[in-house]
Amino acid sequence: MNLLIFGALTVLFAIASAQRGDSANACVVNDSFGRYCPTTCGVAEHLFKYTPGVYENLDYMLGELERIGNLTRGAEATVVHMRDSTPLAQKTSEPDMHYKRSTSMLEDVIRFEKTIISQEQQLFELQNYILTNERKMQELKMLARQLEQTCSLPCKDTVDISPITGTDCQDIANKGATTSGLYYVKPVAATEQFLVYCDIDTDGRGFTVLQRRKNGQVPFDRNWIPYKEGFGYLSPDDSTEFWLGLEKMSQLTAKAPIPYALRIELVDWLGNTKHADYAMFRIGAEEDKYRLYYAYHLGGTAGDAFDGFDFGEDPSDKIYTAHNGMQFSTPDNDNDRYDGNCALQDGSGWWMNRCHAGHLNGRYYQGGRYTEKDSGAFDNGIIWVTWHDRWYSLKETTMKIIPISRLTVTAGQQSGTKQFGGL
């Protein structure tokens, strides 16, 4: 643009100066143009006549061109200044004030936009939080209503305990008790009476229950004192798990004037029921670590796991897994015949040998089947290997005692309809 303007100006100056220079010369008439044609001088005269106007116009145009030229140069300078000052403003510590101000404003705008977006996000999250809380409150209100309905029913905080007492449950049944439930017994060797669950059947047999597993709600991973004193819950409807306690078991059996039979009842996860009976069952005193004694296996459908089991790994397996004559062991009181601690490994209390073939205080495994991975390498379930293998944990167990003379139901005794082993 610049070159074009200067070019145009140069041409105009050249024309103007040429015309002015020529106008000073006088016209020389030349007749050879003829009478009907204007002479050279006529043309010159005509030309001179218009010259002042042309000059005037030219001067005006020059002025205009110069003004435009000046304006263009100014605009160009501004553009150049802007172009040059931008990087300068970015680099120098004291940038152009306008640039600085506009940049700062822009940054503010961006910052505000970010803040707005962030706050919108926070609002969205808070709204969600409120909705979740409202839902939870609705659920809680519903639960509260359900609880109110439940609590409006009269609560039963007492248990009916029969006034009939005796030395054991058979004694109580002999005195006329016909229903299973909670009774106080006072064995000959006991200084105080204590509560037991009596399993009394229609044949008038009264079993005193020592141990009950049925749902895994009571942990059996306990130490010496709880196993001595007893733990779990006695309930009148046989709905809870418990361990009566070694001291009571010892009081019931060790110095009893009549020999006892131990009946073990087992239920697997298919609902099958089996049992094992042992004659002359008794539990020693605490000084002898509540040692297990029995005379022999009376029979039953579950096999004799207390006699040990040959797992096929070592011929000595059977001897080292027999339970008769074993002292009781708990994780904190190792009385087993193993270099290690069976009760600690299995997390239970039991008459451990090295270690067991029958283990009714083992860990409760829902569904029965478990693996070394589940148990930490040890067969620590509720085991009776003469029925199910040691990686199968039984669903329910009962250990109960009865005077051996009453174990077998004989004809003419009470209703007399059941035969031996009938459950």
**Of 383-402, which residues contact Ca ion (CB under 5 A)?**
none
**Of 47-76, which residues contact Ca ion (CB under 5 A)?**
none
Q: Does 310 bind Ca ion (CB under 5 A)?
A: no
CB 211 within 8 A of CB 399: yes
3-state secondary structure of 290: coil
Q: Which is nearer to Ca ion, 336 or 379 (CB)?
A: 336
Least distance CB 317 / Ca ion (angstroms): 17
3-state secondary structure of 197: strand
Q: Which is nearer to Ca ion, 317 or 334 (CB)?
A: 334
Least distance CB 274 / Ca ion (angstroms): 31
Hey, what are 383's tokens?
């085991």
Q: Which is nearer to Ca ion, 277 or 336 (CB)?
A: 336
Least distance CB 399 / Ca ion (angstroms): 24
3-state secondary structure of 96: coil
From the list 43-51, 223-231, 273-281, 338-346, the region that binds Ca ion by CB under 5 A is 338-346
Pairing of strands 273-279, 260-267: antiparallel
Q: Where are the beta strands (DSSP E) in 255-294?
A: 260-267, 273-279, 282-283, 292-293
3-state secondary structure of 358: strand
Contact code string over 11-40 relative to Ca ion, x by CB under 5 A: ------------------------------
Among 241, 304, 336, 379, binds Ca ion (CB under 5 A): 336
Instruction: Say which residue the tokens 């977006």 belong to.
Output: 117
Q: Which is nearer to Ca ion, 269 or 338 (CB)?
A: 338
Contact code string over 157-196 relative to Ca ion, x by CB under 5 A: ----------------------------------------
Query: How is 106-175 classified by DSSP, letter by letter?
Result: HHHHHHHHHHHHHHHHHHHHHHHHHHHHHHHHHHHHHHHHHHHHHHHSPP-------S-EESSHHHHHHT
Rounded Cα gap, residues 39 and 51, in angstroms: 18
Q: Which is nearer to Ca ion, 94 or 339 (CB)?
A: 339
Q: Positive or negative, the Cα torsion across 52, 56, 61, 67? A: positive
From the list 178-186, 233-241, 332-340, 410-418, the region that binds Ca ion by CB under 5 A is 332-340
Least distance CB 326 / Ca ion (angstroms): 12
Least distance CB 341 / Ca ion (angstroms): 5
Distances (CA, A) of 169 to 20, 120, 164, 195, 397: 152, 74, 10, 11, 19
Helices (H) and strands (E) in the chain, counts: 10, 14
Among 201, 310, 334, 374, binds Ca ion (CB under 5 A): 334
Least distance CB 340 / Ca ion (angstroms): 6
Rg (alpha carbons) of the chain, rounded to whole number: 57
Q: Which is nearer to Ca ion, 201 or 334 (CB)?
A: 334
Q: How many residues bind Ca ion (CB under 5 A)?
A: 3
From the list 153-161, 335-343, 353-361, 396-404, the region that binds Ca ion by CB under 5 A is 335-343
| Cα atoms in the 13 Å half-sphere on the side-chain side of 162 | 22
Pairing of strands 292-293, 282-283: antiparallel
Q: Which is nearer to Ca ion, 352 or 385 (CB)?
A: 352
Rounded Cα gap, residues 419 and 408, in angstroms: 7
Q: Which is nearer to Ca ion, 74 or 340 (CB)?
A: 340
Q: Which is nearer to Ca ion, 327 or 398 (CB)?
A: 327
Least distance CB 325 / Ca ion (angstroms): 16
Least distance CB 334 / Ca ion (angstroms): 4
Least distance CB 376 / Ca ion (angstroms): 18
Least distance CB 288 / Ca ion (angstroms): 17
Least distance CB 362 / Ca ion (angstroms): 18
Q: Which is nearer to Ca ion, 203 or 334 (CB)?
A: 334
- 264: nearest Cα among 250, 241, 281, 244: 281
Q: Does 338 bind Ca ion (CB under 5 A)?
A: yes
Q: Which is nearer to Ca ion, 262 or 342 (CB)?
A: 342
Q: What is the dihedral of CA 218, 223, 229, 234, to 10 degrees?
A: 0
Q: Which residues bind Ca ion (CB under 5 A)?
A: 334, 336, 338
